[in-house]
Structures are given as structure tokens and as C-alpha cells.
Amino acid sequence: MNDKRGSNNTEININIPCSVTKAEHHEKSSKGEGGGGGGEEEGFPFKDWVWKVWEFAREDSNRVKFSLKVGLAVLLVSLLILFRAPYEVFGTNIIWSILTVAIMFEYTVGATFNRGFNRALGSLLAGVLAISVAQIALSSGRVAEPIIIGFSIFLIGTITSFMKLWPSLVPYEYGFRVVLFTYCLIVVSGYRLSMGNPMRTAMDRLYSIAIGGFVAVLVNVLVCPIWAGEQLHKELVNNFNSVADSLEESVRKYLEDDGSVHPEFSKTVMGEFPDEPAYRKCRSTLNSSAKLEALAVSAKWEPPHGRFRHFFYPWSEYVKVAAVLRYCAYEVMALHGVLHSEIQAPYNLRMTFQSEIQEATSQAAELVRSLGQDISDMKRSTRTSLLKKLHSSTERLQRAIDVHSYLLTSPCDPPDTNGYSKPLTKLSQTLSNNFSDLTSQLADLDSSNSLDKNSNQSAQQQQQQQTESNNYHELMRKHSRRQHYSWPPLQVDAFEEEGSSGDFLPRMKALESTAALSLANFTSLLIEFVARLDHLVEAVDELSKLAKF
């Protein structure tokens, strides 16, 4: 009775787990407690990590060589401490050799020489300054000695930190840093640990640093050397091939695109195109300026080696050629931007100039690859024939655009939707058609002159037919814009009616001529790319002369 009265006021829900739920819960708890399930879940991330490490090492074998060389250099210096005889000679100061190897050892031989020069010059300058200031402090008495040392540390720290920010001294930034910490360590340790003998402290530090630097240079040069010049050479050749591949891919996709599939706007803005590897290569070419400049600076420190056997090799010319190549790659990225733009030219209009665009693109890509191959082989070849073919194909493209420019400025109503994928009629065909139409119209005019021009009934019929014709052409124009000039596929006239209701936001409307001019933009960018290739040819010729290809 109490339950019935209570049920009138409150609702009591009792959840009884079924046998299946209990079984699933028991199975999950057994997997969590058991070692087999947890071991498998923990094993997969470890396998993925090992596979990523393997792929990273296989991508560039020099990474493994560099790691092994660093380990070997540190081991050789550590033997001076591990064996008793060398340790009794050098003492605890030999630890500076290990620090020197760890700091000085770089990926390439040129970078190691550059870092070693900065460290050697900085250590030498710091040692001379430390000995001079320590001698002055010792001769000043015990009261003035710490004051002079403290003021000198403040002064050296201020001057070195300011000088390494000077634009012309930025390449020697590491040397100023070495001056600062070496000076501080020598002065302070000499004041407290060497019982007022800074000369002995400075000499111990300097020969320890010399030992570490000698071991680092010896291992880096003699054991599988990684030359910065060779890296710069290969990187520049890869950039040439990347630009050519990206150009061909952008043009191919532009001509094959019928407007049916396009990426989302967020992916277009963020530049996420996972199915376009050539685009990523071209973007890496634009971002490689800092890497190429660093390799060129390191290559200047390297002795003649391999195919680069003469002194004062023009490594700076590689940077100039790379700059001109990036100047051309900007146009390729602009072509890629037109490919993924909001306003697209009709597919049949693109097919009208397909042969001219493809011919100019293939000739331009062939020339870029030829320039990269000449640099790779270090041979100078004549490119007059390639340039003539490229210029002639580009002139044909410009002539086609000039002759058929009416297709890019005048709205053209297609006769039917079945001809969507067919190229539009060119000027030569249009002139012949217009001539036949003109002849027929003249014949009709002669026959109409014989009729009664004052007939009111025929005038009313003509007015009615003209009204119907205007309505028909207006309907066909809207249909044409929906079929050809809308991308993404939206109804162009969806927001044209006044007083339209709904939650839709108004979007910009593109006229037929605006959409057609998108093709003119694409072709002008392609022609500009060809014009910039002339500067690239000149830069490669200058490199071949200075490098004595």
C-alpha cells in the first residue's frame, strides 16, 4: 500500500543489468587485468615508433653516419680520461676536450670548420684577455682584485652581447659567445682554484680545447665526410626538378578539372593538399632559402674535394641561381592558386586553348629539367634550340589568346548542355558561319522588301516573337550560368530575386566575363613564368662560367 501511494508522487526507476552486459564487463576487466591484452596494446606504439625511426634513417643515411661519428669522436677524447697515463698528464682539464667535441662537431665538414674557427679564435682571445686582466688584478692588491675582476666580467659580457648583434658580425655570433663564457671560467677559476695563477689555468684550458677541436676535425674529415658543397649541389638540382614537376601537375589538373570536385575552403586556405606531392615540393623550394644560404656559408670553409677541385669555388652563385629559381616558383604557386580559386573558367573554354597551353607547359618543364641536369652533371650545354621552341610555343599561345579574345570578354550561350565538354568555336569557324549567315540575311532582306511593310498584323506578330525570344534568351543565360560559371555548384540567381526569404547568407555573384577571365589570368601567369625562365638561363650560364663547367 505504501508503494502504491508513493508511486503516485514519485517515479522509481530500477535498472537491472542483463547477462550480456555483465559478460562484456567481465571480459573487459579480464583484459585489463591480464598481461596479454595490455602487452599487445603497448606493443603497437613501440612497433610504430621503431618503424618511424627506421624510415627516418633510411630517408637519409648521412644522419646515421653523423651520429656514429659524434659517438666515435667523444669516445676517442674520453680515452684520455679512462686510461691512467694520459690522465696523469692532462688531469681534470681534459674534460674541456669532451665539451669541445660535443659543441664543435657539426653535420657537415664546412660547418665543423666554421664552428672550430670561431671556437679557436674566441678561446684564444678570451685567454689573452683573461691573463691580462688577472695580472692587473693581482698587482692591485687583495682589496681591489675582486672589484677589477667583477667589473671586467660585466664589461666583457656587455661588449660581446652587443657585438654579436651587429649585422656584419652575425656569422661570428658563436665566437663572441665563446669569448664570454671562456673568459668568465678562466678568470673565476683562476681566482679561486689556481691560487692566483691565471696563466696556468688559461694554458690548461687552451690545450684541452685544442685537443678536442683536433679530434672533431680529424674524425669529421676522415670518416665518411659529409660535405656541405655536395649537399648544396644536390639540393639545388632537386629544386629544379620540383619546380618542373609542380608546373606540369598544376597545368594538368587545371585542364582536367571539370568543376565537379573541389577541396573544402578551409583546406584551400591552409594549403592542405595531400594528393599533390609536387605542390609540396614546390613549397619546400620556396622555403629552402635559409638552408641553401647556410650550406653556402659552410661550403666556403671546405677544402677542394670530389668534383669541386679548385680553390675559391663560387658557392655564392648557387645561392643566386636558387633565388632566381624561387622567382620562377612564385608563378607556379600562383598557377596553383588559380587552380583552387573560387571563380573558375568554364571547362569547354579551357578545352579551347588546351593544345597551346600543354605545348608551352611541356617545353617550359623540359627547359627547367635541362638546366637542373646541366648543374648536376657539371656540364655546359647549348640551350638555343630549347629556348626557340619554348618561345615559339609561347607566342602561339599569346596569338591564340589575342585572336580569340572575344571568348574571354563576351558572354557566350551554349546551344545545349550536351556540348558542355566540347571546345568553343574559334574565330576562323565563326567568320565562315557569320559570312553564310550574312548572305542568308541579305537574301531574306531582298525578299522582305517585296512584302507590304505597312501591315499592322505582321508588326504585332514580330513584336510578340521578339518578346518570346528575349524571354527564351534570358532563361538560357541563367541556365548557362548555373551550368558553367558557378563554382562551387550553386544557383547563380538564388539571391537575385528581391524579397527572398530564408536564412541564407548572400554570396558574391560572378559574371560570365569574370569567370572567363580566370582563364586569361592562368595563361598570363604561364607566359610570365616563361619570361622569367630567361633570367634563370642567364644565372645558370654565369654559374657554369665561374665554376668552369
Place of cell 669529421: 220
Long-range contacts of 425-431 (CB under 8 A, 24+ apart): 426/352, 427/403
What percent of the chain shows pLDDT beyond 90? 27
Q: What is the pLDDT of residue 549?
A: 80
Please indicate whether residue 408 or residue 539 has the higher confidence score (pLDDT).
Answer: 539
**pLDDT tens-place string over residues 336-347:** 888 888 778 778
User: In whole angstroms, what separates CA 323 from the centre of its chain?
Assistant: 14
- The number of CA neighbours under 13 Å toward the Cβ of 136 is 13
Q: What is the pLDDT of residue 420?
A: 44
Residue 207 neighbours by CB distance under 10 Å: 15
Place of cell 550574312: 438
Q: What is the pLDDT of residue 75?
A: 92
- The grid coordinates listed for 270 are 591552409
CATH superfamily of 227-258+273-410+504-548: Phosphate transport system protein phou homolog 2; domain 2 (1.20.58.220)
Angle formed by the axes of helices 198-222 and 61-82, nearest 10°? 140
Q: Find the range with the poorest average confidence among 14-28, 106-120, 252-266, 302-316.
A: 14-28
Q: Residue 182 in contact with residue 123, Cβ under 8 Å?
A: yes
Count H helices, E strands: the chain?
Answer: 22, 0
> Cis before residue 274, ω within 30 degrees of 0?
no
Q: Residue 320 in contact with residue 378, Cβ under 8 Å?
A: no
Q: H or E segment at 222?
A: helix 198-222
User: In whole angstroms, what separates CA 307 from the centre of its chain?
Assistant: 29
Q: Residue 415 in contact with residue 433, Cβ under 8 Å?
A: no
Q: What is the pLDDT of residue 12?
A: 45
Output Rg (C-alpha) for the chain, integer angstroms: 39
Q: Residue 212 in contact with residue 296, Cβ under 8 Å?
A: no
Q: What is the pLDDT of residue 87?
A: 79
User: In whole angstroms, what separates CA 402 from the centre of its chain?
Assistant: 35
Beta strands in 293-372, from DSSP E residues, in sequence order: none
Q: Which amino acid is at 116?
A: G
- What pTM did the predictor assign? 0.70
- The grid coordinates listed for 353 are 586553348
Q: What average pLDDT score do residues 251-272 get?
A: 65
CA separation, residue 105 to residues 138, 212, 231, 440 (Å):
37, 10, 17, 87
**pLDDT tens-place string over residues 383-435:** 888 889 999 999 999 888 888 777 766 554 443 434 444 555 554 444 444 44
Q: Find the range with the poorest average confidence among 185-199, 304-318, 430-444, 487-501.
A: 487-501
- The grid coordinates listed for 116 are 672550430
- List, in sequence order, the alpha helices (H) in 60-172: 61-82, 84-90, 95-104, 109-138, 144-163
Cα torsion 395, 400, 406, 408: sign = negative
- The grid coordinates listed for 288 are 629552402
Which residue in 178, 183, 76 sits closest to 132, CA to CA?
183
> How would you class 188 by CB atoms within 10 Å of its CB: exposed for 0-12, middle for 13-18, buried for 19 or more?
middle
Q: What is the pLDDT of residue 191?
A: 63
Q: Residue 375 in contact with residue 240, Cβ under 8 Å?
A: yes
Q: What average pLDDT score do residues 57-63 get?
A: 83
Q: Which amino acid is at 326?
A: R
Q: What is the pLDDT of residue 94?
A: 81
308: three-class secondary structure by DSSP: strand
Q: Residue 356 in contact with residue 316, Cβ under 8 Å?
A: no
Residue by residue, what is the 3-state secondary structure of 226-248? CCHHHHHHHHHHHHHHHHHHHHH
Which residue in 371, 363, 369, 353 sits closest to 389, CA to CA?
363
pLDDT of 4 strictly over 60: no
pLDDT of 124 strictly over 70: yes
Residue 305's DSSP bridge partners are: 308
Q: What is the pLDDT of residue 495?
A: 40
pLDDT of 333 strictly over 70: yes
Which residue in 394, 423, 532, 412 sits closest to 481, CA to CA?
412
